[in-house]
Structure 1
Amino acid sequence: MDVRVLGAATPDPFLSAADLFETEYDLEWPVRVRVRDDPDERTWAGHYEDYHVLNISRQAATSVMARELALHEFAHMARYEESHPSHVQSTEEALFLALPGKSVERRKLIHCYQIANHMKDIYADDITLSLTSATKLLTFLESQLAAAVADKPSGEADGPSRRRLTAASDPEMTAVNAAFALALVERHGLAGRDHPLYDFAGLAADDAPGIDVEAFKRRFTSLADDPTKSDYRKALVDVTRAYADPPRGSGPAAD
Structure 2
Amino acid sequence: MAYLVSELSPTQGFHPTSASLVYLPGPIPQYESCSLHLYYSLPPPVFVDTHELGQRSSSYTFSHWGSRDLEKPVHALPQETSEVLINVQIPQEGYADEEEMELNVEVPMHLRYGTPRSTATSKESEGKPYEEIQVEWPHAFLLCSSTSLLKSRVTQPSLPAHILAALPSRPPRKLIPIPPHSNFTKTTTTLLLPLGNPYDLAFVEPFTAMTVFICFLWIVRVAWKTSRRTEVDTSSRPKTD
Q: Normalised by the size of structure 2, how large is the TM-score?
A: 0.22
Q: Which has the larger radius of gyration?
A: 2
Q: Normalised by the size of structure 1, how large is the TM-score?
A: 0.21
Counting helix residues as a fraction of each chain, which structure ranks higher? 1
Counting strand residues as a fraction of each chain, which structure ranks higher? 2
